[in-house]
Amino acid sequence: MALTIGSTVTRPNFKTIMTSLVTNFKQFLDIDALRSFKTQFLSEQNNKYLPYIVAATCCCLVYFGIASNNSSNKNKKKKRPKKKTGKSKGRASSVQKSTPKTTPAPPKPKKTSAEEIQEVNVKFNKEYREGIVQLLESYDPAVEEDTYKKKFYGEMLLKLLIELDGVDLISMEEGEAKNALKTKRKQSIKEIQSYLRKVDAL
């Protein structure tokens, strides 16, 4: 026969336990049967056992009441972590969805031999030619700034010559285009070398 406790208490005290016992005890037993049982006991002069029976019944009810409360509390504690894990998974998925995907930048196309030669000539004419001409006209070895410019222009001109020398013309097919690039590169090299000699002679 199953016994259910009507109210759930976290910290049972004497008053609430007794109230629960009386309520459940009335539901658990038939009142008419209890009265007939009491009358029979009184008639048979077994009054001395009645207190023990009542005490044992009360102990059983208290035990089952506390056990049911503990089981309900354990079930609540077990359910809480499931809610937390659900939230954490939801947050993780939302973070993954919100992160944008980055695409790598496409590689730059390789320059042609003609573009490399043209780039060296543009750099020489725009960045170095005018400054070198001014330095050649007003160079004073006693001025620290002039000595610095002499060293700087010498290094830059040498770098341009190395870039021109590294232009690949061997892999090109023989023809007018290849011959034109060879001629253009030779002219650029001669011009830069002439300015480099003048700077070194200061």
The pLDDT assigned to 198 comes to 93
Spatial separation of the C-alpha atoms in residues 127 and 83, rounded to whole Å: 69
- Indicate the domain borders of the chain: 14-98, 113-200
Residue 78, pLDDT score? 53
Round to whole Å and give the CA distance between 76 and 73: 5
Q: What is the pLDDT of residue 114?
A: 87
What gap in Å lies between CA 81 and CA 98, rounded to an integer? 26
Q: Tens-of-pLDDT digits for all 202 residues of the chain?
A: 444 444 444 555 556 666 666 565 555 555 555 566 555 545 544 455 556 666 666 666 666 666 566 555 555 555 555 555 555 555 555 555 556 667 777 777 777 888 899 999 999 999 999 999 999 999 999 999 999 999 999 999 999 999 999 888 888 788 888 888 889 999 999 999 999 999 999 8
Radius of gyration, alpha carbons of the chain: 52
pLDDT for 6 equals 47
Res 106: pLDDT: 73
Output the CATH code of domain 113-200.
1.20.58
How high is the pLDDT of residue 2? 44
Tell me the whole-structure pTM to 2 decimals: 0.47
User: Distance (Å, rounded) from C-alpha 178 to C-alpha 86?
Assistant: 70
> Would you state the pLDDT for residue 178?
85
CB atoms within 10 A of CB 198: 16
